[in-house]
Amino acid sequence: MRGLEELGRVRLSKHFYFRDFLYSEIGNFHHIPNLPDDPDLAIETGRALCETLLDPLEETFGRVAIRSGYRSAALNRFGNENRLNCAANDNPLECHIWDRGRGADRVAGASVAIPWFAQRYAQGRDWRDLAWWLYDHIPFSEVWFFPNLCAFNIAWRPRPQRRIGSYIAPRGTLLAAGADPGEATAQRRARYGDFPPFRGVVFP
């Protein structure tokens, strides 16, 4: 118990602590502990996710809601085997298991929603406006959008793949890994011209 308390207190970035990512409905309902097998690796990759991708989102849009964060390999396997919206542990796009892989194979991801944009999405805003903003401002590896709240999985990898996909119409791949975005930069920027100015993280 004391070790879990200490893990939860680990500060991953300016805005996030490890505890922010440990909650799991699957784990709570089915009484499966959500604890990393390799805490040091989970902290290392989680810190990269938060500092590189999530902190700039929070600085720019305000609160970022964590829908699903870290999952232990055992918890994720259970979720996949019981069809609880978890990809297989060996799926190349599975990003919630932060303590697997070494070197270039490291990955950390989370499913998040941005309330600022979710409100506009509910009023008919196109999810692709946010997708292109992310592409032009955040060095993610992949993002994948979902209909509820326009939540999206966002993943960090040492070598970003720059992939965009969606379950929102038009469903499928908006941008394949390594592909040219196609739309001219000016056209992309016009989509999100009313977004708040981008803000990176500046420590005092």
User: Do residues 127 and 121 make contact, with C-beta atoms less than 8 angstroms apart?
Assistant: yes
Q: What is the CATH number of the domain that holds 59?
A: 3.30.1380.10
Selection from 44, 65, 43, 64 nearest residue 55 by Cα: 64
Selection from 16, 9, 7, 75 nearest residue 42 by Cα: 7
Does the pTM surpass 0.85? The reply is yes
DSSP 62-83: S--EEEE----HHHHHHHHHTT
How many domains does the structure of the chain reveal?
1
Does residue 68 sit within a domain? yes
- Residue 91 in tokens: 């799926």
**What is the C-alpha separation between 134 and 98, in angstroms, rounded?**
22
Does residue 204 sit within a domain? no
Rg (CA), the chain: 17
**What is the C-alpha separation between 123 and 146, in angstroms, rounded?**
16
Does residue 124 sit within a domain? yes
Does residue 200 sit within a domain? no
The string of pLDDT tens digits covering residues 45-84 is: 999 999 999 999 999 999 999 999 999 999 999 999 999 9
Q: Tell me the residue range of the domain where 91 lies.
A: 2-191
Does residue 202 sit within a domain? no
Classify 11 as helix, strand or coil: strand
Does residue 73 sit within a domain? yes
Does residue 198 sit within a domain? no
Which residues share a beta bridge with 163?
A: 142
The string of pLDDT tens digits covering residues 70-121 is: 999 999 999 999 999 899 999 888 999 999 888 889 999 999 999 999 999 9
Does residue 149 sit within a domain? yes
